[in-house]
Chains A and B, each alone.
Chain A
Amino acid sequence: MNPKGIHIENLSKRFGEGDTAVLALKEVNMQVAPGEVVGLIGPSGSGKSTLLKCLGAVIDPTSGRMVLSDTVIYDNGWKVRDLRALRRDKIGFVFQAPYLIPFLNALDNVALPPMLAGIANDQARQRALELLTALDVQHRAEAMPSQLSGGEQQRVAIARGLINRPPVILADEPTAPLDSERAMAVIHILNNMARRFQTAVIVVTHDEKIIPTFKRIYHIRDGITHEERGEGHGFD
């Protein structure tokens, strides 16, 4: 039986061929349950970004197996024909910088993924407004990204990542540009949302401030992951 959340077995990624080949990931194993937030930490060049790109179906792994919410999406080859739709419907992304679309207001930035999935504009905006309310930025719904503070932008970006109710959210250094207070607020939100929407959240981070908040942490070094229990309470 395939587990819920995200489950990775022996995932590897090799760049190049022959003598110049670089093995960026060496049989990575990882499992994140729905509603759980785990940390992925490691030094620069350890393979964090490569793992994130493989999980995000942005680059092809070389071998291994990935199961996403009961569905095998990769087993020594993609099992899903439309990776674009997979990213749109099954994976939420939160980046280091919010990367909001500068010509859409906060509401439409959040509503864009469901609109791309073919949901009616009004319905998508309604869902977006609910999420913005849950993240306490509903009063900034009509503001353009350039008019939002850094924390507000990041909350809008989190709302965009969550709006299609994906089973997994990949957060790449989401607290890097924020001060301690705002960083903790973002982690708090991710935990709350993970529980509320039963989403598995993987947070790639270097941020010493937030590392203690994780219950489980995956260390990655030279393409190999090691799981350890964190000290965190996960904002229970």
Chain B
Amino acid sequence: MISLAGRDILHAWGKFIFTGIGLGLLIGVTLTMAGLYRGMVEDGKVLLDNSGADLWVVQKDTLGPYAEPSSVPDDLWRSIRTMPGVAQAANVTYLTMQVGKENEDIRAMVVGITAGDSGAPGWPPHLVAGRQITRGHYEAVADIATGFDLGDVLNIRRNRYTVVGLTRRTVSSSGDPMVFIPLKDAQEAQFLKDNDAILMQRRRTRANPVFNRPGVRGLLDAVTGSQIENRSVNAILVRIRPEFTPQEVAEPIQRWKRLTVYDRAAMEKILIGKLIATSARQIGMFLVILALVSAAIVAFIIYTLTMDKIREIAVLKLIGTRNRTIAGMILQQALVLGVIGFVVGKITATFAAPHFPKYVLLVPLDSVMGLFAVLVICVLSSIVAIRMALRVDPAEAIG
């Protein structure tokens, strides 16, 4: 038996191809949206991988340092370093801000890392050019996505930094590229106020009789000094000894240091389950809407194509064509339309993905699931047309 669907498609190939391309662009958007979600999850995992930490020690009862603000004293790392099972501990600060680049600025996550201790947790894991930070101030390692090159000068707050190294795929959970600078500079950038604010604060402190007592010498200077001194970091990154489990190390820190400690699994849960949960739901909603729009388009096209063939279907039924042959013809056409659309969509998504500002990760599994979903949508969409075709009275061919 010849393929009626195949012959009809070959006969009206232009209609199928152009409809398939239109549908394909829609499927391409759907696949890209899915890739965007995968990219967000991947960015979160990359952030954790690049930190090189087994444990994140943060302010008690916070979800820091990525999902919530967290502030811990910067000398605490020493006592944590002495806890059982701790191999390395290092302060770190994270601050997403605009970084000045000549006459423009770019969005980046500025990471403060412990200067002079290459390989410590928090350091960029690998460089694609240049060297690691070796000085205590005014040097930076930037992700290549920032657009900085070796030797470029970038501005953070009041200070200027020379880019000495370049790294790749070091991003925040929201996809912003990272700029690594020495910890002291990062603390200043995060916590230090501008000169006018400091002057005003000194004036207010001086006017306060509680701090400015004539009989207590040095009190005012001490209070003023403490106000501008910054002794906080966002988190302490801990690398544990191989013979210890994360729980064994985390539990005493939580109990004795009154801090919250997250291991890798807990941090992934925070990043994926909480930080990008809203975005994921948003993307999920878009995927549902796009799936419904795709289904409506396929249903409409197949319905229209079937309507155009009512007389032929009546003739086919009159000369003895089985209902399942007619249903198969419509179903095959819907599936072919879906396959054309999927191929066009996959190609579109593959070529478009690198041009998106955020990381779009096209996972083969998503493509397989996408193809399956497209085929299911096509089958469901063809039901209306099939029902209509099966209701066609062969008598219509006679008149």
Chain A residues proximal to chain B, CB less than 8 Å: 49, 52-53, 56, 58-59, 84-85, 87-89, 93, 95-96, 99, 101-104, 108, 112-113, 115-118, 121, 144, 160, 172
Do residues B320 and A99 form an inter-chain contact, with CB atoms below 8 A? no
List residues of chain A with CB within 8 A of the CB of B397. 93, 95, 99
Chain B: residues with CB nearer than 8 A to chain A? 1-2, 4, 7-8, 10-12, 311-312, 315-322, 325, 393-395, 397-399
A87–B320 touching, CB < 8 Å:
yes
Is the pair A121, B2 in contact by a Cβ cutoff of 8 Å? yes
Partner of B322, one of A84, A95, A99: A84
Residue of chain B at shortest CB distance from A125:
B2
A160 to chain B, nearest CB (A): 7
Chain B, Cβ-Cβ closest to A88: B320
Nearest to A93 among chain B residues (CB) is B318
The answer on a CB contact under 8 Å between A160 and B319 is yes
Q: List 30 A-B contacts (CB under 8 A).
A: A49-B399, A52-B398, A53-B395, A56-B318, A58-B395, A58-B398, A59-B395, A84-B322, A87-B319, A87-B394, A88-B320, A89-B320, A93-B318, A93-B397, A95-B315, A95-B399, A96-B399, A99-B311, A99-B315, A101-B315, A101-B316, A102-B312, A103-B8, A112-B2, A113-B320, A115-B1, A116-B321, A116-B322, A144-B11, A172-B399
CA distance A53 to B393 in the complex (A): 11
A172 to chain B: closest residue by CB: B398
**Measured CA separation A42–B322 after assembly (Å):** 34
Task: Kindly state the separation between the CA atoms of A113 and B1 in the bound complex, as whole angstroms.
Answer: 10
CB distance from B4 to the nearest CB of A (A): 8
A116 & B318 in contact (Cβ 8 Å cutoff): no
Query: Are the C-beta atoms of B319 and A88 separated by less than 8 Å?
Result: yes
Chain B contact residues: helix, strand, loop or mixed: helix
Number of A-B contacts (CB under 8 A): 75
Contact in complex: B319, A103 (CB < 8 Å): no
14 further A-B contacts with Cβ under 8 Å, apart from A56-B398, A59-B395, A117-B320, are A49-B399, A53-B398, A58-B318, A84-B317, A84-B321, A88-B319, A96-B399, A99-B312, A103-B12, A104-B4, A115-B2, A116-B1, A116-B320, A121-B2
State the Cβ distance, B270 to closest chain A Cβ, in Å: 58
Given contacts A99-B311, A102-B312, A108-B2, contact A116 B319 (CB under 8 A): yes
**Nearest 10 pairs of A and B residues by beta carbon:** A88-B320, A103-B11, A103-B8, A58-B395, A103-B7, A99-B315, A87-B320, A115-B1, A84-B320, A113-B319
List of B residues within 8 angstroms of A88 by Cβ: 319-320
- In the bound complex, residues from chain A placing their C-beta under 8 Å from that of B316 are 101
The complex places the Cα of A53 from the Cα of B318 at a distance, in Å, of: 10
B319 touches A112 (CB 8 A): yes
Partner of B1, one of A99, A101, A121, A172: A121
For A84, list chain B residues within 8 Å (CB): 317, 320-322
In this complex, the member of B4, B320, B321 whose beta carbon has the largest number of chain A beta carbons within 10 angstroms is B320
Chain B residues with CB under 8 Å of A85's CB are 320
Give A160 to B316 CA distance when docked, in angstroms: 12
- Per the bound structure, the CA–CA distance linking A117 and B7 in Å amounts to 19
Whether the Cβ atoms of B318 and A101 lie closer than 8 Å is no
> For A117, what are the chain B residues with a Cβ–Cβ distance below 8 Å?
320
| Closest chain B residue to A146, Cβ basis | B11
